[in-house]
Structure 1
């Protein structure tokens, strides 16, 4: 079995430090790493062993980081602006690339992280060789908002909230409100990924579960339209890489090949 070296990194920014981690195979088959963007309640730890599996299967370095305010990165107290998805690609990804000496790469994101992968691809041009989205949203859909409202009620349970705090510590309340308040704000109703998708120069793979309560199949079809394959996974919910990791990795491997 291929040996994987796991390394911790700290990315300096004017707003605070970001925690990052990389998984590097002993033998690299590609010099283009994969950058992982987590979801609205996510962090490095919630990727579990997916980055390590991905690095081993693809023979590529895999890099994940906690966005500011999440996981082990520094806390933030400001409200997210409605352009926070595009801002991530503009404000933080360049620092990640600069401080970890990343030139060309593949952007891969889960849920809102998929939108950040698209925005990163659009901003970085030919440096981003491919974009992969997993259960991403491309616009504001009633199904997405309804799923968030249901989750909002579930997080009133101390036990459910404690599971979030396990990964984000004292930042958990901010993380939860950053998700719920931002998406349920009426000002978000007109948001789409369309502008970024139109300027995206690289191929796209859009992966989506057919039982995803946060988004219909309209999202991956819009994301991949004319840009690459759509993979609708049967009997799969909003976290395909945890539900069926081997299938997701195989789809990514075939796409990048």
Structure 2
């Protein structure tokens, strides 16, 4: 897929968009808190081909090949704001029928977007998303910050994010480790989610317990399905790509 920068209300975002299938929805991929378009590797293209749906992958501001963040400081509602940016991007590209696939922070953003803009979202797949803060999440972020400070993680991230790495890591870790973020909770939005939902989570997810899944599935208004995978951590689509791909294909085909 060819990539380009697009202006979304003054934000220069990098997108890769493939529009090959007429009258089919577009699967929109939403990356995690240290992710970007490149780090999805070939998963989006494989899902697009298997479902014969179009595909859009993009880097949020401050990530990958998008322009830098203006500041590392974030409010508690930063993911709600990202759902609004997603909506503005869809308006810019004239996309009115999408299927969201979000991982981690991207999974949360997918849930919020589906709650705020249900008329545009035909279905959504949330992989390892969060609806509230748990002790295991805080520990996971602390461990990631320690790895950033003591291993070659900065160099590995630089390959994908260039000189934006330090601000990106600071933005993620500071908000999640702050006292004020412990009260963050989006359960009140879940009743507004009417499109079909597939929630994928590894049983050994180091950033969240299965309570994230159970409480989400129980509170959305649309049909909801959970796919819990034993012996798998926070990134099922990388750890067991073929299984996650197969399940996602089956779910999406049921919505077409």
Give 1:152 shift.
Answer: 1.0
CA RMSD of aligned residues (A): 1.5
TM-score, structure 1 as length reference:
0.92
Q: Matched residue pairs, number?
A: 249
Query: Hey, what does 2:74 align to over in structure 1?
Result: 80
Does 1:187 pair with 2:180?
A: yes
* 1:3 matched residue in structure 2: none
Indicate whether 1:168 and 2:164 are aligned: no
Matches within 5 A, 1:211-226: 211-225=204-218
Match of 2:14 in 1: 19
**Separation (CA, whole Å) in 2 of partners of 1:187 and 1:179:** 14
- Aligned to 1:249, which of 245, 248, 251? 245
The unaligned stretches of length 5 or more in structure 1 are 1-5
Cα pair 2:9 2:88 within 8 Å, conserved: no
Cross-structure match for 1:236: 232
Question: Cα deviation per residue 1:4-39 (whole Å; 9 max; x = unaligned)?
Answer: xx23232213443000102345xx386111111110
1:164-207 C-alpha deviation (Å, 9 max, x unpaired): 11111110001111110010111111111212211112111100
Q: Write the distance in 2 (CA, Å) between the matches of 1:250 and 1:223.
A: 22
Greater alpha carbon shift after TM alignment, 217-226 vs 143-152: 217-226
Q: What is the TM-score with the length of structure 2 in the denominator?
A: 0.93
What CA distance in whole angstroms lies between the structure 2 residues aligned with 1:147 and 1:102?
35
SS of 1:155's equivalent in the other structure is helix
Match among 44, 50, 56 for residue 51 of structure 1 = 44
| Contact 1:77/1:174, CA 8 A, preserved across alignment | no
2:32 aligned residue: 39
What 5-or-longer segments of structure 2 have no aligned partner?
Answer: none
Whether contact under 8 Å (1:126, 1:201) holds in the other structure is: no
What is the distance in 1 between the residues matched to 2:176 and 2:249? 32
Q: Equivalents in 2 of 1:14, 1:202: separation in Å?
A: 27
Render the CA deviation track for 1:84-128: whole Å, top value 9, x for unaligned: 1111112x1122112222011111100011010011111112221
Q: Tell me, in whole angstroms, the C-alpha distance in 1 between the residues paired with 2:112 and 2:4.
A: 23
1:121 and 2:114 correspond: yes
